[in-house]
Amino acid sequence: MKKHNLYIIILGALITFLSLQGCKDDENTPIDKDNKAPGQVFNTSIENLPGAALITYSLPSDDDLLYVIAEYTNNNGKVFDFRASYYTNNIKVEGFGAAGEYTVNLYTVDRSENRSAPVAIKVNPSDPQVQLTAGSLKVQPDFGGMSFTFENETKAELSFIVFTTDADGTETAAETFYTSSKSSKFAVRGYAAEPRLFGIVVQDKWENSSEGLYQTLTPIYETKLNKSLFRSIIFPNDAPATHWEGSLDYMWDDVVNDKTAHTGNDASTMPKHISFDMGVEAKLSRVNVKTVPDDKHWYNDVSPRFYEIWGSLDPDPSGSFDSWTKLVSIENIKPSGLSVGTLTEDDRSAGRNGDDADIPVEMPKVRYLRIVCTKNWSGNTNMCISEITLWGDDN
């Protein structure tokens, strides 16, 4: 029995010793530390790009080579460095704020963190995307403010800072938009229909900024449409909205709950549509649509996922689409991107806010609206809508 215990003690001590040795081996230090600098890169070639340069090179033969550093100083005096492992023979240097000649220093680094002597390379990047995008800006008056479009060919990460004047005439940032889209349209709203100075500055993730584009614009008048004037209307080919005790009238009662316009839950994939009369002719500017405010319906069930708003001044009584104009297509986007049935607080917050969509300013004046569901979150074309709110010019 004593001998057995002795074996256990010896075995435990051996395991502890080996464990400590393993910890020592795992320390993040070079195995062979020396003070000898590695060789330099050679046979360099350059491909100049918008706001960037791709440098290709041959590596020295040092056995302990670890990575390559490319380093440069931009026009604002800020130093940038980029790294590439010894498994590749090129490195992309980015963040140049303007076209021109820049000096990039290339260093090799070994496992002892020794740096080689620099190899100075002259690069000549073309205009960066931030400047190209600024040059593509198109600004126009819009409902309650202004809107702008742009081109972003390389899908760079950009921000657009919109400035305007406050009540004291002081220039202030009104809103900032972030995107990496190839092209898009953004709008700022909430201003009276009177001349106002607007400015836009484009920035990239390297803190490069364009010059401000300033224009004095007069926002187009808009108001929230009076829901007390809305009336249900049913054309022969419309879907009944009375399933699950539903009614079209619930869409404009200013109450967001489980009382909805509900077209059912059959498996049809043919687009379904419902219609109503706004009571006035109006040039619409934007719309907000909300579904049932609970976890069962947000991004789930028969809540519309892809749908359209159509308008008409004089609809054909047969329900034909010949007299209707598609005003906007809407996608109900789930912020988290998680699978159906799994929600985050961001998803719930977006669900409570509902879908906001801008109506292009060139769309005609309408009185009658039609909502067309092409696909819901269950894969068919039914829809349940709890509330719709509209803005525009009803003069």
CB atoms within 10 A of CB 380: 19
Q: Note the pLDDT of residue 3.
A: 47
Here the tokens at position 150 are 């742009």
Same CATH fold, 224-393 and 129-221? no
The confidence score (pLDDT) of residue 13 equals 52
Tell me what the mean pLDDT of segment 92-105 comes to: 95
Q: Which CATH class is domain 129-221?
A: mainly beta
* Whether the predicted pLDDT of 312 surpasses 60: yes
How confident is the model over 141-161, as a mean pLDDT?
A: 93
Burial class from Cβ neighbours inside 10 Å (0-12, 13-18, 19+) for residue 348 reads middle
Residue 33, pLDDT score: 77
- Bigger pLDDT: 180 or 169? 180
Contact at 8 Å (CB) between 195 and 217? yes
Question: Looking at the domain 42-123, which fold is it?
Answer: Immunoglobulin-like (2.60.40)
Q: For residue 67, what are its two tokens?
A: 């990575």
CATH 3.40.640.10 holds for 224-393: no
Residues 6+ apart with CB under 8 A from 105: 70, 71, 72, 118, 119, 120, 121
Q: CA 219 to CA 370: how far, in whole Å?
A: 27
Is the model's pLDDT at 166 over the cut of 70?
yes
> Where in the chain are the domains?
42-123, 129-221, 224-393
Both structure tokens of 388: 């719709």
The mean pLDDT of 193-211, rounded to a whole number, is: 94
Phi, psi (deg, nearest 5) at residue 236: -55, -30
Q: Evaluate if pTM is beyond 0.95.
A: no
pLDDT single digits (tens) 219-232: 989 999 999 999 99
Average pLDDT, the chain: 91
Rounded to an integer, the average pLDDT of 200-211 is: 94
CA dihedral 344, 345, 346, 348 (to 10 degrees): 90
Q: Which residues, 6+ apart, have CB-to-CB distance to 269 below 8 Å?
A: 375, 379, 380, 381
Residue with tokens 């549509």, as numbered in its chain? 273
- Stretch 175-190: mean pLDDT: 90
In this prediction, residue 40 carries a pLDDT of: 97
CA 335 vs CA 159, 249, 307, 351: distances in Å? 19, 30, 18, 10
